[in-house]
Amino acid sequence: MNNKNKENRKQTERGQEITQELKQLVVWRLKAIPSDLKISIGGNQFSQKEALVHVKNEDEVGNEIAEIQIQFLRDLTSGKIYQNE
């Protein structure tokens, strides 16, 4: 892993490291969500704009949203998503 990747890393509750690359990706993926959809997670509801703020702030909610996104992408690319369990 290169040095650029080691910058600004945070460990989340799920054990996922939030790099700048991941954060940028999640921000853009969230921007693609229609603005009239809200995310209900961890007992709260967030609009697309609110979710973006959380991700940019790298707080608990933002990191969780980022983790859910990256885990989805990893399962997709590894093919795990097609497995039954």
The answer to whether residue 15 forms part of the interface with other proteins (CB under 8 A) is no
Q: Closest separation between CB of residue 78 and other proteins, Å?
A: 5
State whether residue 12 is helix, strand or coil: coil
For the record, the structure tokens of 65 come out as 């949203």
Residue 41 — left, alpha, or beta (φ > 0 → left; ψ -120 to 50 → alpha)? beta
The nearer residue to other proteins, 21 or 59, going by C-beta atoms, is 21
- Whether the Cβ atoms of residue 14 and residue 64 lie closer than 8 Å to each other: yes
Instruction: Choose which of 44, 49, 57, 59 interacts with other proteins (CB under 8 A).
Output: 44
Residues that bind other proteins (CB under 8 A): 1-2, 5, 14, 19, 21-22, 24-25, 27-29, 32-34, 36-45, 47, 64, 68-81, 84
